[in-house]
């Protein structure tokens, strides 16, 4: 099964062609960066079995698009999961941190009120703050930390509160990224691409089919066969799919 737990299907140069190429059994979590993009992105993926569309408001857009939170509230009942959401501690976004924090709190509260959702979470240079907020909203749902880049202490905190981790080919190309993956719970690691933003070694945008490279890379790190890793990731993907179908819809 093809598994890509974090990609931006609507932001490829030719998104309809990418969506149409996903013909095999798959689990693709197609995230959005603004609530206003959700309906169109949902329509894009709705014709492909296994593509699920997230309702997102990216932390990099927290100040610019804060006015779309009301739209997010109106759509949450129809959304299969929430993403991309979270916090970004990059220096260039320092002035927007108060906006980010208010928005992320509001999103976690919204997820809690909705009965819980799977969440695809951005935590660049803000892993400690993200885990702190998740502790404060324990019923928000199932968090998947996308492209986790915190330190080992922050990783341990994330593991303790039950976070999953989506890992892409680009992450596996760095020594630091591989070191983090080595310490992650094997049953809670899933493939992602972050396409079209993440690139392959030739500088081309990663496609959801590139997520297969994660299984081989992780198998090498863990000293396991690709078949064992692929089977474990398929079981993890099945668990996430079940969460999307059941959490908050009792």
Contact 82, 108 (CB under 8 A): no
What superfamily does domain 2-246 belong to in CATH? Answer: Metal-dependent hydrolases (3.20.20.140)
Please work out, in degrees rounded to the nearest 5, the angle formed at the alpha carbon of residue 78 by the alpha carbons of 76 and 84.
Answer: 55
Secondary structure of 116-129 in the HEC alphabet?
Answer: CEEEEEECCCCHHH
Residue 196: cis peptide before it, omega within 30 degrees of 0: yes
Domain borders along the chain are 2-246
pLDDT given at position 24: 75
Secondary structure of 47-108 in the HEC alphabet?
Answer: CCCCEEEEECCCHHHCCCCHHHHHHHHHHCCCCCEEEEEECCCCHHHHHHHHHHHHHHHHHH
For residues 17 and 37, what is the distance between their CA atoms, to the nearest angstrom? Answer: 18
Local mean pLDDT, 10-residue blocks, the chain (250 residues)? 97 96 92 98 93 98 97 96 98 97 98 97 98 98 98 98 98 97 98 98 96 97 98 98 71
For residues 70 and 127, what is the distance between their CA atoms, to the nearest angstrom? Answer: 26
Sheet of 141-146, strand order: 2-7, 26-30, 51-55, 81-86, 117-122, 141-146, 164-167, 189-191
pLDDT given at position 248: 43
pLDDT given at position 23: 80
Task: Tell me which residue has tokens 């108060």.
Answer: 98
For residues 194 and 206, what is the distance between their CA atoms, to the nearest angstrom? Answer: 7
pLDDT given at position 246: 73
pLDDT given at position 249: 45
């Amino acid at each position: 099964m093809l598994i890509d737990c974090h990609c931006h299907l609507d932001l490829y140069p030719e998104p309809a062609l990418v969506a149409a190429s996903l013909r095999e059994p798959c689990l693709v979590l197609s995230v959005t960066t603004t609530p206003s993009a959700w309906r169109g992105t949902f329509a894009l993926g709705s014709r492909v079995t296994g593509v699920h569309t997230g309702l997102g408001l990216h932390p990099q857009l927290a100040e610019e698009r804060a006015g779309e939170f009301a739209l997010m509230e109106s759509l949450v009942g129809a959304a299969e999961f929430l993403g991309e959401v979270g916090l970004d501690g990059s220096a260039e976004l320092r002035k927007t941190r108060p906006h980010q924090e208010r928005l992320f709190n509001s999103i976690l509260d919204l997820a809690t009120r909705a009965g819980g959702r799977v969440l695809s979470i951005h935590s660049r240079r803000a892993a400690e703050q993200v885990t702190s907020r998740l502790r404060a909203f324990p019923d928000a749902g199932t968090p998947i930390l996308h492209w986790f880049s915190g330190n080992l202490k922050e990783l341990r905190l994330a593991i303790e509160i039950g976070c999953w981790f989506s890992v892409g080919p680009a992450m596996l190309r760095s020594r630091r990224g591989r070191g983090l993956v080595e310490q992650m719970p094997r049953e809670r690691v899933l493939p992602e691409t972050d396409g079209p933003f993440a690139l392959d070694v030739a500088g081309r945008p990663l496609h959801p089919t590139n997520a297969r490279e994660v299984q081989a890379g992780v198998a090498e790190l863990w000293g396991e066969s690709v078949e064992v890793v692929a089977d474990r990731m398929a079981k993890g993907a099945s668990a996430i799919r079940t969460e999307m179908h059941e959490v908050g819809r009792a």
